[in-house]
Amino acid sequence: MENPHAERQNVLLQRIIKNADKVTETIEELNLCLDEIIRANERVVIAADLVTKYRKNVQYNLEAMKGSDSSSKA
């Protein structure tokens, strides 16, 4: 005669394993989607960096022009 508790435990363990496999599969799919998003955003990141550098250069040149205007007026 088989132990009913062992049988019940076996069923529960099988369900846990099946659910863990589903979770693992879903996480792997999520990672692939995130990699795709990161690759798609690479150009946006490059463009944002270029705009930031351009803005800093413009700001520097404006400050330099203000400094040369005030020194030439003196």
Give backbone dihedrals phi and psi of 65, rounded to 5 degrees, phi first.
-65, -40
d(CA 26, CA 29): 5
Q: Which amino acid does the sequence have at 17?
A: I
- Predicted pLDDT of residue 19: 98
d(CA 74, CA 67): 11
- Predicted pLDDT of residue 27: 98
- Predicted pLDDT of residue 69: 75
Token pair for 70: 């005030």
Residues of the chain with pLDDT under 70: 1, 71-74
